[in-house]
Amino acid sequence: MTWEWRLDDAVIDRGNGLWQIDLGFQDRREIISAWLYRGSDSWALIETGPSSTLDHLNAALGSLGISITDIGHILLTHIHLDHAGAAGLLAQANPDATVYVHPFGAPHLIDPSKLIASATRIYTDQMDSLWGTILPIPEQQVVQYEDGQVVDVADRRLQILFTPGHAWHHVALFDLDSRDLFTGDVAGIRMPGRDYICPPTPPPDLDPDSWRASIAAMQALRPKRLGLAHFGMFDDAEGHLARIEPALDVFLKRGEESFAAGEAQDILTVSLHDLMARDVDAADPEVLQSYELATPSYMAAMGLTRLYRKQAEKAASVS
């Protein structure tokens, strides 16, 4: 089995005018997916991926006989670059398109300078190869979600659910008719054909209590299918959602132990990688590599270290 991205496999018809698009991150398949809705007179895209995958997105759209200029609505679950990095380029290519985002994320789409600076501190000279060009979006093209609102796009009714935990500005989108739930990262990372769910715990907004509340809110919707950005559509929605919190607790426990022991962050990185490897088919290292590309262990370690350092600083300030 080859893990190289191929256009022939990149566009999957999920029924009723919904397509899953494999964006071919780092020219590999099954790392980042976007979702495309066809309406009677408009198209809507959920997630854009980074600008580094824009050529693949354009090719996928072309295979359906459309282009960026046909997409009138772009809906983001959050503004992390693997989900929204191409939004500025898409908005530039189609000035009539509307970009929907959480209110906390909107200022960083309009002026991405702080977002770029923060990401550059982490990725340094890999910024361009990983994420590509990041452009501002004109304010008039940006619409801010309201929690619980229903957005009418491409003949669909998508209910917005604020789902903090992975990030404060995170939302999930629930199709009220098909009962498909597009979860961004808050439902975890899972590869096709695998049961293992990995909780992405990057800095700076990791909040376990909010994450648990978000899981409960998603469960209350009783979705039929889950659309994960990393990666794909899963029919076992109830079982999947039941496994996220236990998986998160495993990472949290290891992070807390590491911080309490004063371990270096690279030791925690190795531990988290080993936890991931324990639950992924060791006979196929490419699967583990896919999980690592979707949610790198070093990023998870950074998020956990920051969480427990902040908790310790808060406790010290109170005492």
Report the pLDDT value the prediction gives residue 286, as an integer from 0 to 100: 87
For 177-196, the pLDDT digits (tens) are: 999 999 999 999 999 989 99
Please give the domain boundaries of the chain with CATH numbers for all domains: 7-244 (3.60.15.10)
Reported confidence tier of residue 318, pLDDT bands at 50, 70, 90: confident
Q: Which residue has the tokens 């998020």?
A: 303
Per-residue exposure over 160-189, b if at least 16 CB sit within 10 Å of its own CB, e if not: bbbbbbbbbbbbbbbbeebebbbbbbbbbb
Here the contacts of 69-72 (C-beta below 8 Å, separation 24 or greater) are 69/93, 69/94, 70/43, 71/36, 71/43, 71/44, 71/45, 71/97, 72/42, 72/43, 72/44, 72/96, 72/97, 72/98, 72/153, 72/154
pLDDT for residue 65 is more than 80: yes
Q: How many CB atoms lie within 10 A of CB 225?
A: 19
Give CA angle at 187 (186, 193), nearest 5°: 145
Q: Report yes or no on whether pTM surpasses 0.85.
A: yes
